[in-house]
Amino acid sequence: MGCPQVCATATLQCSFGAAPAVLNVLPVNRTLTGGMPAANIMDHIPLVNVMPFGVCMSMANPMVAAATAAALGVLTPMPCIPATVSPWLPGAPTVLLGNMPALDANSILMCNWAGVIKIAMPGQMQMLIP
């Protein structure tokens, strides 16, 4: 059985985020999976596709570093603003959506603030009927 295709409403989790976020997929590729717009590796735009994860706890984030320094070294989380400038990796290279690899549930996205964003729930489920 293959890896599930990712679509709109997929749940994402960042390694430095405090809460899960939802993947927003615009219907530009005109392809549906599970009745929702299907995602490709280029659906990585901050605040368009990737929503905030509550608060960020990464010291690589300048806002967190400044707040922590002001608190005399006590880690001080700050609001998350994803900094995802590169596409999802690796995607599904054998399935193209809009001339780009489709996004599958094994893909990861790197945040500039050292976070690793993974797909917790792909937005669709496969049912096995015995």
Taking 70 as the threshold, does the pLDDT of residue 129 lie above it?
Answer: no
Taking 80 as the threshold, does the pLDDT of residue 34 lie above it?
Answer: no
Number of domains making up the chain: 1
Confidence tier at 1 by pLDDT (50, 70, 90): very low
Residue 107 lies in a domain: yes
* Cβ atoms of residues 91 and 41 within 8 Å: yes
- Please enumerate in sequence order all residues whose Cβ is within 8 A of that of 110, keeping only pairs 6 or more positions apart, or say none: 84, 86, 89, 116, 117
Surface-to-core class of residue 63, CB atoms within 10 Å of its CB (0-12 exposed, 13-18 middle, 19+ buried): middle
Taking 50 as the threshold, does the pLDDT of residue 48 lie above it?
Answer: yes
Residue 130 lies in a domain: no
Confidence tier at 130 by pLDDT (50, 70, 90): low
pLDDT in tens, 20-32: 999 999 988 888 8
Distances from the Cα of 57 to the Cαs of 47, 52, 108, in angstroms? 18, 13, 19
Residue 101 lies in a domain: yes
pLDDT > 90: percent of the chain: 80
Domain residue limits at 34: 11-121
Q: How high is the mean pLDDT of the chain?
A: 92
Residue 6 lies in a domain: no
Residue 24 lies in a domain: yes
Average pLDDT on 25-41 reads: 88
Residue 57 lies in a domain: yes
- Please enumerate in sequence order all residues whose Cβ is within 8 A of that of 71, keeping only pairs 6 or more positions apart, or say none: none
pTM over 0.85: yes
Residue 16 lies in a domain: yes
pLDDT in tens, 52-88: 999 999 999 999 999 999 999 999 999 999 999 999 9
pLDDT in tens, 93-127: 899 998 999 999 999 999 999 999 999 999 876 66
